[in-house]
Structure 1
Amino acid sequence: MLKIIDKYILKRYLGTFIVMLLMFIPIGIVIDVSEKVNKMIEHKVPFGQIARYYLDFTIYFANLLFPIFLFLSVIWFTSKLANNTEIIAILSSGISFSRFLRPYIIGATIVSFLALIMTIFLVPSASAGFKNFRYTYLNNSGREGMRENSDVFRQISKDEYIFVSNYQEVSKMAFNFSMEKFEGDKLKYKLIASRIKWNQKDSTYTIYNYNKRKVGAFGDIIESGEAKDTVFKFDLEDLTPVVYIAETLPITELNKFIDKERARGSSNINVYLVVLYKKYSIPVSAFILTIIAVSVSSMKRRGGMGVNLAIGIILAFAFVFLDKIFGVLAEKSTAPPLLAVWIPNIVFGALAIYLLRNAKR
């Protein structure tokens, strides 16, 4: 009988979660289409690009909002079990509350594993496609706005710096490129170009409308031209906006990139670490939110499911609020990124333990 109950609850757990995703993601797509359709028509975006964008949109937002969807789905179907007095019947048969939680934990394990796989293998590619489409076609401020919002200023060695604006992933091209080399506080070399393009075939760069200046003790050497193929010591990823690249790199490449940036003494290292740590903290939140949801909704209340859903919505958005606040805090301050990313799970983990004890009573 216990196995039948496990299958019954597990089926409801996974089924309600999937239905919740299938309900809200199309709504999100419809809202996004209604907001962006004019710009898509204006830029004559090919249908294939639009279809790919909304596939990336689905993966990106399913990963971003999955804790809320999971939390609300567990509250929804558990409240129905409570209102139908099914939970009372299960517990009255001699099953402990801890044993009652087993199929929920199994369901959370399945969802966490799938979320982790999606975060590692699918989300980076979807994030790249999603953000590139928006930078290319949907930016509200046009080209100037894109340049302003995607400027990259990066130190690539002890005494060398690069700057670009409006990096485009599809064409592997960036605009307003400049590179400077110093000796102490004195400028020794400067290169500027209107565009720089990565050539994957031979791992070179092409610079367009360039001007190169070498500062000498007895005079400067100046070179200019329309186009030139050259080799630089920096990587293609160095031309990409900070958050943009962090979210688009697979886990192995992201770890290598973080090691490289740490060796360079990059001031943006916390931004990369936040993205890395969230890949692991978000799947763990499935267990915490599942326990909270069951503890809150397993008792029959006078207000019915509405009260449980109201409590669930408040707690879900409180979790997201804490997640965003401490994520930004880690990126913009000296707060340890690992601690900042895990604080929402720690706080809600303590809340889960407290609610679980009360629910058992």
Structure 2
Amino acid sequence: MLKIVDGYIVKKYLGTFSFMLILLSIVVLVIDVQQKIPRIERATAIDPKLDLNYFLVHFYPFWIINLVVTFLSILVFISVIYFTSRMANNTEIVAIISSGASFHRFARPYFLTSLFIAVISLVVNHFVLPWANIKKNQLEAYTYNATNKEKILGTAPVAAQLSKTEYIFINSWNKQEKRGYGFLYQKFDKNRKLVYELKSTDVYWQQAKKSFMLNSYLEKTINKDDSEKLGQGFELKKDYGQDPEELFPNELLGQNKTTPELIKFIEREKDKGNSNLNSHLNEFHQRTSMPVSIIILTFLALSLSSQKKRGGLGINLAIGISLAFVFVFSFEALKVVSENKVLPPALAMWLPNIVFLPITLFLYLKRANQ
């Protein structure tokens, strides 16, 4: 009999979750398209191929993957609240417990199903989502307002630390055209004394040669006796070991990398002496902490909704939606806190789980002992 009950609960869990997933995707897609049509039309005016149909095929499917991953914990929590409350109101849970099954045994299919979803989410977060983000981020900037679009595609000063003694500065760099003006490379010795400097009026990235091309350059080498050796020319090819996206990373770069690639990137930046890595570390830790939250929120929802209450399904859903949004959006708030270096990224991205786990255990054990 319990195996039949297990199958019934798993079917309810996955069925409700799938329905919520499809409903959320459709509703949010329609709302987002309506909101972004004016910006898409401006993109179409610049490039005729970037019309609404192009975005529906090449942007929104990958955007939805990102959206689902972000709100997966909310979907799970509300789904469990919904179908468990209905079971409680129909006295199904009372009947199951009265037949001799313990509450722990009743909770087993909840655990197994949440574990199944969490494992899939873990794989998606670490390997599938970065692929979707690459596709999404190619067009994401065109859906931003003018200010945020300029940050991604526009022209701005950039700087990069190649190692603990090497630096690159470009006064004006266009991220889309990969071309800039006012290039400066400096190398220092261990005593922070300048030993080499290279300047050029303009610089551009040559994809075929995987190198930077410098035009009208001037180089200066400073010897140990402080004498200087000067050189100049019209064109110089320089390879700094990374392409412009790696050298001048934006906030979206970490999203585009699978976890092994992200780990290598973070380690490489640490070796170079880059201490401004919290946004990428947040991305790394969140990929694991969010799937774990699926299991925690499943048991929290079970504990809150498995007993018949005055107000029934409505009150349970109200409590569930409120808690779920507090839980998920706390991640976004803690990202900002971490990027401002108030909290370490690992603590910031695991803090919601750390806070909600003991609450969940308390409520679950209280419910199990009733």
Report the TM-score when normalising by structure 1: 0.88
Return structure 1 stretches of 4+ with deviation > 6 angstroms.
Answer: 148-151
1:357 and 2:362 matched = no
Work out the CA distance in 1 between the residues paired with 2:116 and 2:149: 44
Q: Following TM superposition, by how much is the alpha carbon of 1:111 offset from its aligned partner in structure 2, in angstroms?
A: 0.5
Work out the CA distance in 1 between the residues paired with 2:239 and 2:254: 24
288-297 or 42-51: bigger deviation: 42-51
Report the AA paired with residue 22 of structure 1: I
Q: Which residue number in structure 2 is paired with residue 257 of structure 1?
A: 265
Q: Which residue number in structure 2 is paired with residue 129 of structure 1?
A: 135
2:165 to 159, 162, 169: 159
Q: Which residue number in structure 1 is paired with residue 354 of structure 2?
A: 346
Contact preservation (8 Å) 1:146, 1:166: no
Contact preservation (8 Å) 2:36, 2:143: no
1:181 and 2:181 matched = no
1:69 and 2:107 matched = no
Work out the CA distance in 2 between the residues paired with 1:315 and 1:77: 17
Work out the CA distance in 2 between the residues paired with 1:310 and 1:302: 13
1:89 match: secondary structure: helix
Report the AA paired with residue 278 of structure 2: N
Task: Map 1:40-59; keep pairs closer than 5 Å.
Answer: 40-44=40-44, 45-46=50-51, 47-59=53-65
Between the two proteins, the alignment pairs up a number of residues equal to 353
1:111 and 2:105 matched = no
1:212 and 2:217 matched = yes
Q: Following TM superposition, by how much is the alpha carbon of 1:139 offset from its aligned partner in structure 2, in angstroms?
A: 4.1
1:301 and 2:301 matched = no
Report the AA paired with residue 286 of structure 2: K
Q: Following TM superposition, by how much is the alpha carbon of 1:60 offset from its aligned partner in structure 2, in angstroms?
A: 0.7
Q: Following TM superposition, by how much is the alpha carbon of 1:301 offset from its aligned partner in structure 2, in angstroms?
A: 1.1
Q: Residue 301 and residue 324 in structure 1: after superposition, are their counterparts in 2 closer, same or farther (change >3 A)?
A: same
Q: Which residue number in structure 1 is paired with residue 239 of structure 2?
A: 231
Q: Which residue number in structure 2 is paired with residue 247 of structure 1?
A: 255
2:104 to 71, 82, 98: 98
1:215 match: secondary structure: strand
Report the AA paired with residue 112 of structure 2: I
Q: Residue 342 and residue 205 in structure 1: after superposition, are their counterparts in 2 closer, same or farther (change >3 A)?
A: same
Contact preservation (8 Å) 1:9, 1:104: yes
Contact preservation (8 Å) 1:155, 1:264: yes
2:274 match: secondary structure: coil
1:332 to 340, 360, 367: 340
Q: Which residue number in structure 1 is paired with residue 3 of structure 2?
A: 3
1:318-342 deviation per Cα after TM superposition (whole angstroms, max 9, x unaligned): 2123322333322221633222221
1:84 and 2:90 matched = yes
Q: Give the gaps of 5 or more residues in structure 2.
A: 45-49, 222-226
Report the AA paired with residue 29 of structure 1: L
Contact preservation (8 Å) 2:141, 2:153: no
Report the AA paired with residue 95 of structure 1: A
Q: Which residue number in structure 1 is paired with residue 30 of structure 2?
A: 30
Work out the CA distance in 1 between the residues paired with 2:2 and 2:232: 82
2:253 match: secondary structure: helix
1:121-170 deviation per Cα after TM superposition (whole angstroms, max 9, x unaligned): 211122222223122464423864545798653211122223564534xx
Report the AA paired with residue 75 of structure 1: I
Work out the CA distance in 2 between the residues paired with 1:83 and 1:174: 65
Work out the CA distance in 1 between the residues paired with 2:157 and 2:108: 50
Contact preservation (8 Å) 2:155, 2:175: no
Q: Following TM superposition, by how much is the alpha carbon of 1:31 offset from its aligned partner in structure 2, in angstroms?
A: 1.3
Work out the CA distance in 1 between the residues paired with 2:149 and 2:363: 51
User: Identity of aligned pairs, percent?
Assistant: 34
Contact preservation (8 Å) 2:25, 2:68: yes
Q: Give the gaps of 5 or more residues in structure 1.
A: none
Q: Following TM superposition, by how much is the alpha carbon of 1:62 offset from its aligned partner in structure 2, in angstroms?
A: 0.6
Report the TM-score when normalising by structure 2: 0.86
Contact preservation (8 Å) 2:88, 2:305: yes
1:87 match: secondary structure: helix
Q: Which residue number in structure 1 is paired with residue 224 of structure 2?
A: none
Q: Following TM superposition, by how much is the alpha carbon of 1:49 offset from its aligned partner in structure 2, in angstroms?
A: 4.5
Contact preservation (8 Å) 2:85, 2:305: yes
